[in-house]
Amino acid sequence: MCRRPGSAAPRARAFGRWATRRAGWFLAASLVLHTFAAAFFSPSPLDLRVYREAAPLLLSGELYDYRLHTAPPIPELPFTYPPFAALVFLPLSWLPRTVAVVLWQAASVAALAVICSGAERLLRTGREGPSRSRVMLWTAGGLWLEPVRHTLDQGQVNLLLLAPVLAALAAPHTPQIRGAALGLASAVKLTPAFGGLYLLATRQWRAAAWAVLAAAGATALAWVVAPGESARYWFGLVTQTQRIGPFWSVRNQSLRGALGRLLGQGALASPAWWTALALATLVTGYALWSAARRRDRLGILAAAGLYGLLVSPISWSHHWVWCLPAMIWLAHGPGRRRTLHRVTLAVWTVATVSRLVPLLIRLEDGLAHPDPYPALLAWPGTVYAVCAVLTLLAVAAGPGTAPPREPAAGSRPLEEPRVRR
């Protein structure tokens, strides 16, 4: 029997309506499965253990001497964040381990919902709030994306840093709150600092200034508390990326890691690295300009976050929780019907749901020191970098036409969201 052309679209819309009406059930089922997996199958949250055990050493001047001994290929886990992070993590050391793990898991899952809500709010051009059903569906599905699962399994801080940034940027807060949220997150971990590109692209100059002030103030506070460890970190350890782990490992999904596996560990001294870096910067710059011109706030933020992961020396797979706002933008943004957007969303979905990177990690760990790196592992090991580049191209391409602007009455420029009184 022949199917009518285009008959798949009505079925897809019908399924979407069916799923939307049952969003609460999907979220409840996902949370139950996650609780079961965390209780019986989740590995020991090693990063959370590092936070708890290392933080008190800030006060004794031994923070960066700490090592958690694990198994090869990364036999030691040091504390790698700025000193201010240790101050933030210090209360964890006062809690029993089980209580700390449960609270951290619960807070991280709640942060995931905040991220989905913030991303949905950034999509809106008017005053309407986020779609509650869509937020519940993305939260339910987001729990099973590989970067999110890795963050939860290891007790990482990524979700807890991205959530306040998205919440502050999406809600109608003052420039002080928006800037302070980004600045404090950047003082805990350096990667959120690339979110500052969002403030610059949307011409939020006051919020950008507050972000710098908040980050500087937090760093200064840590310097007063622990001047020796602060000087040790900022004048030396901050540039020693080898402390974190081998940059060539497939665990590192940055542009630097991908090129190191494809071209050899000397790739960073070759023109290929500088050419790739320049191209990524040019594409991102155009993407930010294009998205700002059409007032696409979530597109701007997704481009800024993914660019930061691409150009950072180390971007472990759990850092890529930025895939979630990017996927929401691809699925529901202004260019959602374009082929490039659909293909990019499909690649993200396959890469994150299939857990390709953990599979490649297991294969890599079974090898001796891989130099040269096996091509059969190197090419699929570029998957997150490829997804990021495709997303940047999609943001740069845009929907082809700018969406209608908000009504003039009572409206504000893009750089100054309206504050509710």
Report the alpha-carbon distance of residue 220 to residue 234 in Å, rounded.
12
User: What integer pLDDT is reported at residue 382 of this predicted model?
Assistant: 95
Q: Tell me, what's the pLDDT at 8?
A: 59
Span 64-71, average pLDDT: 89
Q: How confident is the model at residue 16 (pLDDT cuts 50, 70, 90)?
A: low
pLDDT value of residue 415: 46
| Cα 216 to the center of its chain, rounded Å | 22
What's the whole-model pTM score? 0.90
Of the pLDDT bands very low, low, confident and very high (cuts 50, 70, 90), residue 416 is very low
**148-152 contacts, C-beta under 8 A, 24 or more apart:** 148/112, 148/321, 148/324, 149/355, 150/316, 150/317, 150/318, 150/358, 151/108, 151/318, 151/321, 152/34, 152/38, 152/42, 152/105, 152/108, 152/109
Residue 126's pLDDT is 53
**What is the arithmetic mean of pLDDT over 363-373?**
81
| 241-252 tens-digit pLDDT | 777 778 888 999
pLDDT at 77 over 60: yes
The mean-pLDDT minimum among 76-85, 127-136, 195-204 falls in: 127-136
User: How many whole angstroms separate alpha carbon 320 and alpha carbon 387?
Assistant: 11
Helix (H) or strand (E) holding 77: strand 76-78
Between CA 18 and CA 62 the distance in angstroms is 56
pLDDT-derived band at 413 (thresholds 50, 70, 90) equals: very low
Confidence band for 400, pLDDT divided at 50, 70 and 90: low
- How distant, in Å, are the alpha carbons of 121, 152, 193 from that of 185? 20, 18, 8
pLDDT category of residue 12 using cuts at 50, 70 and 90: low
pLDDT of residue 131: 82
Q: Is the pLDDT of residue 411 over 50?
A: no
pLDDT at 369 exceeding the cut of 80: no
- Residue 146, pLDDT > 50, answer yes
